Structure 1
Amino acid sequence: MKFLLVFAVVFVAIWIWRKNRRDEMRERQPPKRATPAVAAPQAMLRCAHCGLHLPAADAIGGPGGIAYYCSVAHRQAAGH
């Protein structure tokens, strides 16, 4: 009978120890980070002089908005 009582006390002690340890592990976990927002894709345009593809926001428009260039030098070299 003594062995059964000792076994029960040891079992309860181990159960309490493991429960506390699980709670500590949950508290230690770093908070989950939100994934950063990704910008919408931009339209790509081709330079009429050299053929380089670049984002529309960086392109330099030619006269009438028909042709686009990657730099002012290429726009001037094309004769516009």
Structure 2
Amino acid sequence: MKLLLWAGIIFAVIWILRSKKSSTKVDSPKTPQAPLESAEAMLSCAHCKTYFPASEAVYDSSNTAFCSIEHRAQHVVR
């Protein structure tokens, strides 16, 4: 019976020490992420006013940007 009691005490001490060791562990400082090499410009559609990447723009003869060919065709200049 004494052996079982000592085994329980030793197990409890080891378990407590391990839990304290893991909770006091110092994390390494986070390295800042590298900035994006090139952020793409966003444009606003002249017809629906939504924003979209400049690489997807459709232009008319007056160099107005649209998000799609359909909006370029539907756009009425006021």
- Please give the TM-score of this superposition, normalised by the length of structure 2: 0.48
Higher helix share: 1
- Please give the TM-score of this superposition, normalised by the length of structure 1: 0.47
Larger Rg: 1
